[in-house]
Amino acid sequence: MEKKTVFSGIQASGSLHLGNYLGAIRNWAAMQYQYNNYFCVVDLHTITVPQDPATLRAKIKEVAGLLFAAGIAAENSVVFIQSDVKAHSELAWLLNCITPMGWLHRMTQFKEKSEKQKEEVSVGLFDYPVLQAADILLYDTHMVPVGEDQKQHVELCRDIAQRFNYRYGDVFVLPEAHIPPVGGRVMGLSNPEKKMSKSEEKKEDSIFLLDPPDQIRKKIKKATTDSLRDISFDEKRPGVYNLLTIYQLLTDKSREDIENHFAGKSYKDLKEQVAEVVIESLKPLQERYHELTGEKGYLDDMLERGAIKAGEQAEEKMRQVTESMGLK
């Protein structure tokens, strides 16, 4: 049977954090053998909010390096930088011309981000989901593994594809979001009411994948909990719930075993043990990252290979799209 295709992207808007890892990248690595995979550093999405050019350049490489370090293998997966494949911008324009503005006005991520940006909000930020639809549709993607925050965007992509197919014939595959049952929304440490995010200004809110052990201990020690004592998976107590969920995801133990394990223990014990599990889980990834970025030219070669492969598929799709629209 022919393998189905997976596509997912990640921004270079800051340092990758535990939410990105548990909600997305770790799952991409685990499922890569069953599918044809495209994983993309979406730098064109990153510039929808202001970025410092030198920092952005470095972050693009760092994010790509972390994808490989997390176990995504070039033999199974095409890893590339979005702006290296021009078809992404080109298809985004064509899709813009069939996407009603009203659909974009409903996007909750735009509403949240534009509130922060106020009058600085760019057209690009508004149009972000259309570029994301282009990313996904170029590769005949069946499945888009993402965290919960991206569900609405993938649904919009499906709607755009359906509208296009209705007007111009069966050109696009209709994709589906794949959200992990646990870990789809890892929350911030200092504000567990909000998701952990790269662009969060408070740096102690996120555990970054390249944080050294002491930093991880310090951040988790300061994590917001509550004034109760009992350690249980209670969603009404978001701080403790989030720490326990991180522990669950990294140990693969059942919730019942975890609650028994922490019965009678203090929040101090909980935090210390969560910190040790995080440190141990990130250690191999950090080692691989330093190894592969230490090898001169390695990452650039891998990304060049990725861009060539992705570009071939994308060009073929663009040929079908432009023909069906009457542009060729």
Active-site amino acid positions: 113, 195, 198
23 binds ligand AQP, rule: CB under 6 A = yes
**Given the complex with ligand AQP, which of 285 and 318 has the nearer CB atom?**
285
Question: Which position's Cβ is nearest ligand AQP?
Answer: 23
Interface stretch with ligand AQP, choices 20-28, 82-90, 119-127, 266-274 (CB under 6 A): 20-28
Taking each continuous run of H as one helix and of E as one strand, the counts in the chain are 14, 5
The CA-atom distances, in angstroms, between 111 and each of 90, 106, 107, 227 are: 25, 8, 7, 33
Which of these ranges, 19-27, 50-58, 245-253, 275-283, lies near ligand AQP under the rule CB under 6 A?
19-27
C-beta of residue 15 within 8 angstroms of C-beta of residue 209: yes
Task: Give whichever of 183 and 306 is closer to ligand AQP, judged by the CB atom.
Answer: 183
Q: Which amino acid is at 223?
A: A
The closest alpha carbon to 5, from 158, 175, 149, belongs to 175
- Burial readout 168-191 (b: 16 or more C-beta within 10 A, e: otherwise): beebbbebebbbbeebbbbbbbbe
Residue 129 in contact with ligand AQP, rule: CB under 6 A: no
Can residue 207 be called a binding residue for ligand AQP (CB under 6 A)? no
The CA distance from 20 to 208, in Å, is 9
Q: Which of 146, 157, 244, 307 binds ligand AQP (CB under 6 A)?
A: 146
Dihedral (Cα; 123, 84, 103, 37), 10-degree rounding: -150
32 binds ligand AQP (CB under 6 A): no
**Residue 242 binds to ligand AQP (criterion: CB under 6 A):** no
101-120 positions binding ligand AQP, by CB under 6 A: 109
Q: Is 175 in the site for ligand AQP (CB under 6 A)?
A: no
Q: Which residue in the block uniquely carries the two structure tokens 């979001």?
A: 177
If one asks whether residue 82 binds ligand AQP (CB under 6 A), the answer comes out as no
- Residues making contact with ligand AQP (CB under 6 A): 10-11, 13, 19-20, 23-24, 109, 146-147, 149-150, 184-186, 195-199
